[in-house]
A and B are shown apart, each in its own frame.
Chain A
Amino acid sequence: MSGWHLRLRQQPTLRLDLRRVTPAALCNADALRVPVWHGNEPSLLGDWFDVSAVSSETPFLRIEGDLHRCDRLGQGMDAGRLEIEGSVGDWFAAGLAGGEVQLCGNAGALAACAMRGGLLTVQGDLGDHALGALPGAMDGVIGGTIVVHGSVGARCADRMRRGTLLIAGDAGDFLASRLVAGTIALAGGCGAHAGYMQRRGSIVFSGASPQPPATFVPVRADVRVAWQLLAREIERVAHANGIADAFAGLARRAPQRAVGDLAVDGRGEWWLAQAL
């Protein structure tokens, strides 16, 4: 079992499709000879990257460089650990099913869409349509944990069904639109139309509380037990992934709760937990 260390040698002229580059796929292969597409030209991974082997017990891959023209990195990954130093292109970690992915940089559009499991931490920002559904799919993210230290673009977590998403920064418009279930915690501000057509699931606003739309009803019943279970878990995940400050003291707050989106007979909930 071995791991690999890749360093981008030169900036590709066209988009580089790295969908075959995952820790598990490379661990028993010759990394230099893995075929990759550069635009519509076939090429090899070794044409673009300096490759060195590192010893590792589990599948391991570390990639460095300005990767903003590298798409589909870590797509379909299901085991091992992927570390990226630098910003990546579109479809980053799409369909992630297992293992750990750490991105020190920003990602383009459609990051981690249709994610199924695993842990994704992003020390940067995600572009639009992050954590959404594939075209035509009924569900977006159906499992896993996502921790974003920065901000996310528009339409984040569209059609999410299960999993936990923590955002330390801000969110764009249509956060968690058509949310089916799952947990989203946002420490910063959010754009317009959050929870648009939300069916179920929980959105925790620990920063500035947005005004719930008219299709959400305030619910004043005592639901402190569920809040403790939820808020403690958010604090635990935040602490374990380096954004403890963003959600500090969450479980001690007494949030207001709104339920909707009644426009679609939804039972989703907003926890408005702004610190007083």
Chain B
Amino acid sequence: MNINGVAIDESFAEAFPMKATRLVITAHNLTWARHAAVTATGFATSVIACGCEAGIERELAPDETPDGRPGLAVLIFSMSGKELAKQIERRVGQCVLTCPTTAVYAGLPAAAGEAIALGKNLRFFGDGWQQSKMIAGTRYWRVPVMDGEFVAQETTPVVKAVGGGNLLLLATGTEEALAGAEAAVEAMRAVPGIVMPFPGGVVRSGSKVGSRYPALSASTNDAYCPSLIGLAKKTDLTPDVRCVLEIVIDGLTEADVAAAMRAGMKAIVERGAAAGVTRIAAGNYGGKLGPFHFHLRRILGEGASA
């Protein structure tokens, strides 16, 4: 498959089941909501060492939030509900509770899944002065803090989600690869229900399973390192490729991840091969590890026919 000179591999991205929740963080204005959301989703690129993968999903207008203030929707993914609960407590406790004027709410309907603590444990920061308020069947905690009150919904539901959807952008040079990746990320940000957890949505250190060192479970994806063309036993690159960047997508549903991958691929093929990204590939482990397979050509084909 070749569109506008961009080759689409006959390949698929292999993704894994994760547990996720959406939080709504509001504040006096969008700037402070963003400070809290950026901090709370910081150091959350990969579950390998961060405990969770997280990002800002989108901005919320005042009429979309429970308290009528501007806010941000944040998605947080983890490998288990237990780890997710731990990460939520730490991140909301250290990054949202601490941020001036913020409040935090569950961003999914209560019936969506099993509830984990949101404000339920953070309330003890109130040292006995915390107050609970039941409003429309939902419990909120009001914790006195130095700027007034920190309001947090008691729990947030955990849903099954999909982590590790990806696109590999093979380009003729660094500038071309960055420009292509930036365009793709911008298009994908418009897709609801997904985040791209790496810096700027982009990762350069794609990995393969295993390593020659027993202590490491993952190591550099040598088949896609342009510096190893002709050196590594196997390369998936042609000599004209000088830079490869990957976009990793975590989504609430399989359809969300597929929609994001489609948006990203469309953005790349619309720019054409002349812009420098000449091929789109995807990362997988032979299809045996992850239950979700996102076939590039099938996803893009569905978009064209739709």
Contacts and interface: CB of A to CB of B under 8 A. Distances in A.
The answer to whether A binds B is yes
Given A162-B134, A200-B131, A229 B149 contact: no
Nearest to B132: A181
Place the interface of chain B in its size category: 20 to 34
A46 to B, nearest CB: 40
A233 interface: yes
B68 A251 contact: yes
A224 B129 CA distance: 18
Contacts of B129: 267
Nearest to B140: A229
A28 B124 CA distance: 50
B136 interface: yes
Given A162-B134, A202-B133, A267-B131, A229 B67 contact: yes
Contact of A233 (B136, B142, B148): B136
Nearest to A234: B135
Q: Is the interface of B mostly helix, strand, loop or mixed?
A: strand
A29 interface: no
Contact of B142 (A182, A183, A226, A236): A226
A228 B67 contact: yes
B148 A229 contact: no
A276 interface: no
B66 A229 contact: yes
B72 to A, nearest CB: 16
Contacts of A57: none
Given A226-B133, A226-B142, A221 B67 contact: no
Interface in A194-246: 200, 202, 221-226, 228-230, 232-233, 236
Contacts of B132: 181
A221 B134 contact: no
Contacts of B122: none
B68 A232 contact: yes
A16 to B, nearest CB: 36
A230 B133 contact: yes
A115 to B, nearest CB: 15
Interface string B133-160: 1111000101010011101000000000
Contacts, number: 52
A225 B149 contact: yes
A225 B151 contact: yes
B274 to A, nearest CB: 52
A83 to B, nearest CB: 24
B75 interface: no
B205 to A, nearest CB: 41
A229 B135 contact: yes
Contacts of B151: 225-226, 229
B195 interface: no
A225 B136 contact: no
B262 interface: no
A228 B68 contact: yes
A221 B132 CA distance: 17
A229 B133 contact: yes
A225 B140 CA distance: 11
Contacts of B133: 183, 202, 226, 229-230
Which residue, of B103, B133, B136, B140, has the highest number of chain A Cβ atoms within 10 A? B133
Interface of A: 162, 181-183, 200, 202, 221-226, 228-230, 232-233, 236, 251, 267
The 8 closest A-B pairs by CB, nearest first: A222-B148, A228-B67, A225-B151, A221-B148, A225-B103, A233-B135, A225-B67, A223-B149
23 contacts: A162-B134, A181-B132, A182-B134, A202-B133, A221-B148, A221-B149, A225-B67, A225-B69, A225-B103, A225-B151, A226-B142, A226-B151, A228-B66, A228-B69, A229-B67, A229-B133, A229-B135, A229-B140, A230-B133, A230-B135, A232-B66, A233-B136, A251-B68
Given A181-B134, A222-B148, A225-B69, 14 more contacts: A222-B147, A222-B149, A225-B67, A225-B103, A225-B148, A226-B149, A226-B151, A228-B69, A229-B133, A232-B66, A233-B136, A251-B68, A267-B129, A267-B131
